[in-house]
Amino acid sequence: MKEKKITIGCDHAGYELKLKVIAHLQERGYEVLDVGTHSTESCHYPEIAHEVCKNIQNGVTELGILVCGTGIGMSMAANKHKGIRAAACSDTFSARLTRVHNDANVLCFGERVVGMGLALDLVDNFIDAEFEGGKHQYRVDMITAIEQQEL
């Protein structure tokens, strides 16, 4: 059975949508670890991405969600962390397939790009999907080798 705990974070541009995502996850039975930010006051998204990624690296949660204006900055910051495979998604097909094929562990999206309904669909498709392994494992291993500068 999948872990029912997830880490979430946002910057000021994703704060309102993060609150809705948290409520949705809690309704689905998830324990949500909210690492901030906790207002619409301007903040620095790399710091929030770092907190989410540390929870995954340290085994506190298996998955994370990051929300900013577009999802792009958060995904760039998250992908600088070893073992993190973050994907900025704005469609449900990509949100599902990034788990199934890429074993992504962080979903990123933007409050300025997706509305609440789509955001919740992205979250559901991401957390309900499972990595297929097989030929995809070899490719994920290649990503890890690049990360470790072995390729």
Mapped onto helix, strand or coil, the DSSP state of residue 30 is: coil
- In sequence order, the 6+-apart residues with CB closer than 8 A to the CB of 42 are 12
Instruction: State the catalytic residues.
Output: 68, 101
Helix extents (H) in 38-81 = 45-57, 72-78
CB proximity list for 69: less than 8 A, separation 6 or greater: 11, 13, 14, 110, 111, 112, 113
C-alpha to C-alpha distance for 78 and 74, rounded to whole angstroms: 6
Q: Quote the tokens at residue 42.
A: 């301007």
CA distance linking residue 140 with residue 126, whole number of Å:
17
